Amino acid sequence: MKSKIFQEVIDETPEETKIFVRLYADLAVRINQVMRDKGYSQNMLAEKLDKRPSEISKWLNGEHNFTLRSIAKLQAELGETLLEIPVQRPMPEINENVSVTRYTMTVYRSKSNPNEDIEWKRASIKTDYNNVG
């Protein structure tokens, strides 16, 4: 039975935080399962990824914010899918009076420091499908 205070904390927790915690826990469990199945210790995985064992420990104990790059590295090393994105659904039939706006982003790099973004611009491209035959 949950206490009243505990329930209040849960009720006040933002939905995005609940989702984050669930996804993180699922990912950590999946990584541990694959490591166990492949016979990897945290030390072995750290060595293969050129990381410190303490960093791998943080990944698996919820003390690290995974990036897509770190997930990709793990997935490549372990040879197993860790994260799946649903396949994009086909676009519905285009009806009359439909237009789509796509966005592009241009990033300008500093010539003196190529790792530094100095400016970015966002441009929209509107495609009108009203006269598609």
Q: pLDDT tens digit string along 43-73?
A: 999 999 999 999 899 888 888 888 899 899 9
pLDDT for 132 beyond 50: no
Contact predicate 112/79, CB 8 Å: no
Give which of 84, 80, 85 is closest to 34, Cα–Cα. 80
Contact predicate 74/88, CB 8 Å: no
Structural domains of the chain sorted by starting position, each given as residue range(s) with its CATH number in brackets: 4-78 (1.10.260.40), 99-128 (no CATH)
Contact predicate 101/76, CB 8 Å: no
For residue range 8-27, list pLDDT tens digits in order: 888 888 899 888 888 999 99
Residue 100, class by beta-carbon neighbours within 10 Å (0-12 exposed, 13-18 middle, 19+ buried)? exposed
pTM (2 decimals)? 0.59
Rounded Cα–Cα distance for residues 24 and 26 (Å): 5
